[in-house]
Every structure is written in C-alpha cells, then in structure tokens.
A = this chain, B = another copy of it.
Amino acid sequence: MGKGEETRQTILDSAVALASQVGISGLSVGSLAEKTGMSKSGLFAHFGSKEEMQLAVVRATQELFLETVMRPALREKRGLPRLRAIVANWLVWARRSRLPGGCPLAAAAHEFDGQPGPVRDEVSHALGLWRRALADAIGKCVEAGDLRPDTPVEQVAFEINGLVLACLQDSQLFQDPESEQRAMTAFDRLMSHHAPNPAKE
C-alpha cells in the first residue's frame, strides 16, 4: 500500500474534527478540501461519493472513540474500577481528542434518526456495539462482585448512557464546567445503589 492510505487518514482526521463542529451532514467536499489544502477532485477520489465519505467518517470516529475511551481503561482492574474509568474517559473524550464541537457520533445519532439510509444504519450499528460493550463492562462488575447479582445490566447501561448524554449537552451548550462532576456523582450513586454490601444510601 502506498501513500494513498496515508493521506486518506489525514483527510479523515480533519473530517472528524470538522464533523464535530458542523455535523456529518454538514460536511461538504469543498470545505474539507479547503481545510486539508487539497483539490476537491483529488479529495473526492479517495471516497467515490459523499455518502461513502460520510460512512468513512463514522467509522473513523468510532475507531478514535475506542482508542480514547476504551483502550486506556483496559489498564484498570476489571470490574468497577474499569467501568468507572470508561465513564470518566467517555465524559471528556471529545475534549481529549480535540473535537471542539463534541462527539460527532452523538450528533449524528440525532442528525440521521429521521433519515433512513446507510449512514443512519452505520451510526446505529456503532452505537449499538458500544452499548453492548458498556453492558458487558457492567456485567463484569457483577461477576467481580462489585455489583449485586440481580443488577439489571441493560437498565444500568441505559442510565449511564443517559447521564453521559446529559453531561455532553451541558458542557457543550451551556459550557457548564460542573457537568462532569454532576455525571460522576450520579454514576457513583447509581453504583452504590446496586452495590452488594449494605453500604446503601
């Protein structure tokens, strides 16, 4: 493989950052060409169509997300410490990855939820995978004895997703610096509610 793949990755890096600000449907071949210093046609040749370009951006965002959120958390001890690291990384991943407009996948979920098509399917698939990974991490907490055996894993995954979404909205829209701590407070309360030892309340 030659240098084509390399520039393609360069393009996608810029594309993910730009999509963070203007959304994935807001991406245009022209604006992206200008940002990367390439010609419209030269850039276009890497994808073949705008839709393929959008799909590539979704997949690139997904990879960046896993690299930023999941992989560092794997160094934590399996169970609650790892889950807590996942949530903590998740809350700040857009900032850490220099995505000034927030998570492009979360935005895309809203953008495309009313527009059937391949992009919507890819976004839905990516978020579905992530939700399953999150539920798995919660299940590991149960196995490790950090959570009670009757913990409703899917329900907890749902609620964690919710408090992350709330944090992202507040930090992006209101620039509320407290939102991360709010989310972690809610997370800890949720965990202690399902904790096995009677350290409730």
Contacts and interface: CB of A to CB of B under 8 A. Distances in A.
Nearest to A17: B114
A174 B23 contact: no
Interface residues of A, number: 46
A155 interface: yes
Contacts of A201: 200
B128 A114 contact: no
Contact of A166 (B101, B107, B162): B162
Contacts of A183: 158, 162
Interface in A178-200: 179, 182-183, 185-186, 189, 193, 200
By secondary structure, the A interface counts as helix
Contacts of A169: 109-110, 127, 161, 165
A113 to B, nearest CB: 4
A136 interface: no
A171 to B, nearest CB: 9
Contact of A186 (B102, B106, B162, B167): B162
A160 to B, nearest CB: 9
A20 B114 CA distance: 7
A22 interface: yes
A124 B173 contact: yes
A145 interface: no
Interface string A137-177: 00000000000000000110011011111110110111000
Given A154-B182, A155-B186, A193-B193, 4 more contacts: A25-B26, A111-B111, A124-B173, A124-B174
